[in-house]
Amino acid sequence: MSFSILGTGKAVPEYVLTNEELSTMVETNDEWIRTRTGIQERHICKSETLTELTVKAANAALENAGVSPEQLDLIICSTMRGENITPSQACVIQKEIGATCPAFDVNAACSGFIYALDIADGYFVRKKVRYVLIVSMDNLSNIIDWKDRATCVLFGDGGAAAVLGEGDDLLSINLTAVGNDKVLRIPHGTNSSPFYEHDEERAVLHMEGNEVYKFAVNAMATGIKKSVADAGLEMKEVDCVIPHQANIRIINASAKNLDIPKEKFFCNVMHYGNTSSGSVPIALDEANRSGVLKKGDIIAMCAFGAGLTTGSCVIRWNKGEEK
Ligand code: UT7
């Protein structure tokens, strides 16, 4: 036994930051951002807190699944930085939605949602749970260097949640990690110890974009190929690919490498930018609610990110209209 996805829900902040507005903040322009990344706009937190958004996504997913908070046996939140160092964001969500189950966070950067699915699968296999809530969200706008045009144009805030129930719809899942704190890193930035002998670093994102790009294109092709093969399927049997929404060029290159028609890749990077661990589940929620996904569809999901981590999986969709 593995699980079925019973419902999804997303939450993004209201404020939309366009490429035009960004062009007034750093030396960039709409044409560069669109052609190099596909991004047109992204949502940025002004008044909203990460807690408000994670709770909103959680409640939307519970409603979509028809599951109540009291029924939950586990909450996993994937985030790089919760509202507090402790308690975990998952515990904050548990309190806010009125659940009583165990709750913890996982940090696998942009691959967080797929890491969380794999952890949840273990609980289902061990028959420890009937219903699990996963919330994947990052608030990158508060850890971006807004003076660095090479990175500040790429990211946005927001995320989404999924409710899992007993079922047999996870067909394969693969995680990888290659420890690397050079090409993509966000330091903590503060240290209150009067004894500590190292300099403090600013808590902002540092990235070697070209290195991550090469890693990403390879990771997407390798991950999806392996997960489709592990599921005992052929590439042509995949109905929909939900990729990490980092850059449309990475998605297009993956489609070419995998010989999957571009139309099968669900893309919303133009409206959200890269929301880190929120990226795959936001796309999954939009594909769910827009009716793109039909009952019985085979979905491949794949993400890559800091770590460097990757996650890929194949699931059968078990909601909505029949094909
Ligand atoms: O979730 C994982 C997170 N990270 C990623 O997925 C990032 C993966 N990498 C990428 O998506 C791409 O490497 C970027 C979008 C980050 C960069 O695209 P690129 O085509 O690799 O551009 P580049 O870094 O090679 O820069 C080309 C030029 C440079 O100018 P010169 O040296 O050729 O004169 C940059 O200084 O573009 C310049 N540039 C910009 N120009 C206008 C860099 N950023 C900007 C900007 N606006 N925002």
Is 274 an active-site residue?
A: yes
Q: State in Å: Cα 152 to ligand 1 middle.
A: 11
Q: State in Å: Cα 34 to ligand 1 middle.
A: 11
Say which amino acid occupies 184. Answer: L
pTM: 0.96
Say which amino acid occupies 124. Answer: F
pLDDT single digits (tens) 142-159: 999 999 999 999 999 999
Atom of ligand 1 nearest to the CA of 151: 16
Helix (H) or strand (E) holding 201, with range, is none
Residue 303 Cβ contacting ligand 1 at under 6 Å: no
Is 244 an active-site residue?
A: yes
Q: Ligand 1: which residue has its CA nearest to atom 3?
A: 305
Say which amino acid occupies 145. Answer: D
Q: State in Å: Cα 252 to ligand 1 middle.
A: 17
User: Comparing C-alpha atoms, which of 17, 59, 11 is closest to residue 42?
Assistant: 17
Judge whether residue 207 has pLDDT over 90. yes
CB atoms within 10 A of CB 20: 12
pLDDT single digits (tens) 13-38: 999 999 999 999 999 999 999 999 99
Residue 61 Cβ contacting ligand 1 at under 6 Å: no
Angle between helices 248-258 and 30-37 (to 10 degrees): 20
Atom of ligand 1 nearest to the CA of 249: 11
Output the pLDDT for position 321. Answer: 78
How many whole angstroms separate alpha carbon 61 and alpha carbon 236?
Answer: 30
| pLDDT category of residue 190 using cuts at 50, 70 and 90 | confident
**Residue of 19, 43, 174, 244 marked catalytic:** 244
Q: State in Å: Cα 209 to ligand 1 middle.
A: 6
Q: What is the mean pLDDT of residues 54-65?
A: 98
